[in-house]
Amino acid sequence: MAKMREVEPVVEIGEMTAAVSRERVQKLSRDRRRVIGFNSLSLLLFLLLWEGSSRLLHSVFFPGPLVVSRTFVVLLVEGDIQGYTLPYHAYVSLYRVLLGFGAACLTAIPLGIILGLWRPVYFGTRVVSEPLRFIPPLAWIPMAILFFSGLGRYVFLIWVGVFFPLFILTMNGVSTASPTFVDVARVLGASRSFIALRIIIPNALPQIVGAMRAVMSPAWMCIVAAEMVAAELVGLGQLINNYATLLRMDIVIVGMISIGILGLLLNEALMAVERALFRYRQEVKV
Amino acid sequence: MLEYRNVHKSFDTEAGSLVVIKDFTASIREGEFVVLLGPSGCGKSTLLRITAGLEPPSRGEVLIDGRAPDLHGRHRLGFVFQEPALMPWRDLVSNVTLGLEIRRIAKAERNRQAVEILRLLGLQGFEKYYPHQVSGGMKHRVAIARAYIVDPIILLMDEPFVALDAQTRESLQRDLQDLWQRRKKTVIFVTHNLEEAILLGTRIVVLGKRPATVQMDYEVRLAMPRDPVSREFVDLRHELRGMLA
Ligand SMILES: Nc1ncnc2c1ncn2[C@@H]1O[C@H](COP(=O)(O)OP(=O)(O)O)[C@@H](O)[C@H]1O
Ligand SMILES: [Mg+2]
């Protein structure tokens, strides 16, 4: 993080700023090249270790990357026994995850904001919310099976897994607003609603988007678990489950890797949103 | 126009009650630049917060034009805090115009006034910059502009320059003095630096150790702008330092 030097008189700072930012841009692209280099290297190393240990073990239950990539191509082009291709499995799971995640955002974020502004309500309802929060999403599966079917079941299970962490993180972001910002606005005669809408919420937004990113991994955990117990044929969880019973570990691994890659892509997308929205936050970096 | 009548303030903590201000009485006329000088921890910030209505006094009263401080619009106050506290999601112009936005002044008018005051503080050309893109000294200028732009009847400044290096501080002191001479305001400026007090104040009120009580109330008669290496300035500094010791 390049620190700007103090230079007076003020007029000179304009040129300073330009020079510093040009320098910073150059440094950034250098850093980026280095990051890409290191990541390619660690990927290569990982694949080599995997291939090596698979050959050492010499077990059909632990195929190496070469076998797995062949299976990957087959699944991509021809599909599984039922004829569903890998992109279709991935699309179905992704669709379910995004619906559940969207439902959680639409409920947890507004509630987190309201209770963050109005802490007594939260403290007065903790006896209900805290025990609920500690029930693992998987424990909700029997309920979900009884009361929901089809898409609704998946959405419900993801919602259950994502709602509480997102709600708590949002509420904390809102209730830790800088007291000086609030004082600045109060002295200038701001109303409570102005302070809430124009000071506290914008101040908490980076934390809220960060929280959305953080709950992506519980969302995937829920969808895979939910798909494993469902009777349907599509979805990455279903793919893994079906072929696990057939001991086709190469397909299982393809399913696992697909989830990892989708998670990575979603995370990168949300990070791009963060960077675009919160340019002012110097901390938001790769 | 600004009266403190036997203001007391104590905070109740687990360790007991801490008396921070004790029987503070003073009366400040319109247009005075009052410097509150006192050791750190003596209760200066608390006194300013009480003046602004951010904190109630435990006993006694503060009267602005005969009425208690009122955060909801009756008194227009400006407050410059020790840290600039600029909102990072607003550019410099919309940081400066916060108070006008609260007063629902039309955007074109807000921006016109902001551009003018930013120019007076040497920040023309930086209107669209964000706080993280400018230096510490510039942030302090913006914080001053944000307080000044609402045309406050009293401007409260709480050690606004302590975090700055000596050079930046001097340039800000000069600009503040300049601004004050162009647009006279009642100012209460807190500092623990005697030199800064003499440089800026038309009146210096010296507070003792906590609980804050008035130790000395001194009218500064040097002509403005003041030169810290001039004979009179140095003499006065020696005299005051002697009286404070
Ligand atoms: N909200 C508070 N609760 C308890 N003690 C406080 C509070 N605010 C200030 N104090 C105490 O009051 C004393 C004076 O504080 P302050 O007015 O900030 O001093 P100064 O600005 O002169 O350095 C300090 O000892 C501080 O710890
Ligand atoms: Mg203080």
**pLDDT of A231:** 72
CATH classification for the domain delimited by A70-277, as one of 3.40.50.970, 3.40.50.720, 1.10.3720.10, 3.30.420.40: 1.10.3720.10
**pLDDT of A16:** 52
Write down the ipTM of this complex: 0.90
What are the chain A neighbours of B83 within 8 Å (beta carbons)?
Answer: 180
Chain A, chain B: beta-carbon pairs less than 8 Å apart: 92
Residue listed under structure tokens 């804050």: B212
Residue B18 near ligand 1, beta carbon < 6 Å = yes
From the CA of A43, how far away is ligand 1's center (Å)? 55
**pLDDT of B185:** 87
How buried is B213 (Cβ within 10 angstroms: 0-12 exposed, 13-18 middle, 19+ buried)? middle
**Ligand 1 atom nearest to B46, measured from its CA:** 17
Among A254-258, B110-114, B180-184, the minimum mean pLDDT is found in B180-184
Residue listed under structure tokens 């080599």: A48
* pTM for this prediction: 0.81
Residue listed under structure tokens 């701001």: A190
Query: What are the DSSP calls for A167-210, one per residue?
Result: HHHHHHHHHT--HHHHHHHHHTT--HHHIIIIIIHHHHHHHHHH
Residue B20 near ligand 1, beta carbon < 6 Å = yes
Give the integer Cα–Cα distance in Å for A246 and B222. Answer: 95
Question: What rounded mean pLDDT belongs to chain B?
Answer: 90
Task: Please tell me the class of the B2-75+153-244 domain.
Answer: alpha beta
Which member of B83, B103, B168 has the closest CB to residue A189? Answer: B103
pLDDT, one tens digit per residue, over A200-233 is 999 999 999 999 999 998 999 998 888 887 777 8
Give the integer Cα–Cα distance in Å for B245 and B234. Answer: 16
Q: How confident is the model at residue A19 (pLDDT cuts 50, 70, 90)?
A: low
Residue whose C-alpha is closest to residue B188's, from B59, B45, B72, B53: B45
Among A7-11, A30-34, B14-18, B240-244, the minimum mean pLDDT is found in A7-11
Around Cβ A143, how many Cβ atoms within 10 Å? 13
Residue of chain A with shortest Cα separation from B101: A190
